[in-house]
Amino acid sequence: MPATPRRTGRPPVTSRPQILAAARALIDADGWEKLTVRRLAAELGIGPTTLYHHVRDKQDLLLLLLNEYAAQLPAPDLPDDPADRIVAAATAMHDALAGWPWAAEILTTDGFVGLLGDPALHLVDTIVGAAIAAGRTPAQAVTVFRSIWYYTVGEILVRAHSAGPAAYRDITFTGFDPARLPHLAAIGDQWPTLATTDTYPSGLRALVTGLLTP
């Protein structure tokens, strides 16, 4: 067999790295809802069907994008105290996802742990390890991670979907029946303001405290 096998046939017009770069540019420019196979192909100046020679399908494309993004994330500072370490690792996950909310949607669409590369899993391992260091069994540590993951992914998804101008569009918060909904009526139109403030850190701290308290 030759050391450099000579290539035959029609020359390629694109490559997987080129496709991933274009996909990322498209998401950053127009949002991830606009990333379609057909638009991406048009952006690259190729036929839509050509993409299928470089990625298996759209889901595969998204996973490649996700692992590429995770691999390039900076490693966070990790304190020694287990509780603080969990908070730091969870916050790093959260911040990474906050920048790329579409990633959170993909991560809910499958048993994600096995689909991610080492860099992303490092934070998972950190949280599990810190829970064990705090005296939990491995099984309990998985529960700790999963609870934190639910909270984190929920916050990201709600935030991502509330960001648009459509949120709270034709809603009056002053119409609550004080007899049936006394507390909501008392809060009234302050709710949108209160709902805008970032409560992820305080909620996370409360959750971790609760999870590590026997």
Partner DNA sequence: ACCTGAACACCGTTCAAGT
Q: Please give the residues from 70 up to 129 whose contact with a copy of itself meets the rule CB under 8 A.
A: 108-111, 113-115, 118, 121-122, 124-125, 128-129
Our finding on whether 17 is near DNA (CB under 7 A) is no
Taking the complex as a whole, the smallest distance from the CB of residue 180 to DNA amounts, in Å, to 32
Our finding on whether 49 is near a copy of itself (CB under 8 A) is no
CB 100 within 8 A of CB 69: yes
Q: Please give the residues from 192 up to 211 whose contact with a copy of itself meets the rule CB under 8 A.
A: 192, 194-195, 197, 199-200, 202-203, 205-211
Number of residues engaging DNA in binding (CB under 7 A): 25
> Where do we find the tokens 């979907």?
161
Taking the complex as a whole, the smallest distance from the CB of residue 170 to DNA amounts, in Å, to 16
d(CA 35, CA 62): 10
Question: Which two tokens mark 91?
Answer: 């916050």
Our finding on whether 14 is near DNA (CB under 7 A) is yes
Neighbours of 112 (CB within 10 A): 19
- Which listed option, DNA, a copy of itself, none, makes contact with residue 179 (CB within 5 to 8 Å by class)? none
d(CA 106, CA 65): 11
Report how far apart, in Å, the C-alpha atoms of 168 and of each of 9, 90, 102, 176 are: 56, 29, 21, 15
Our finding on whether 94 is near DNA (CB under 7 A) is no
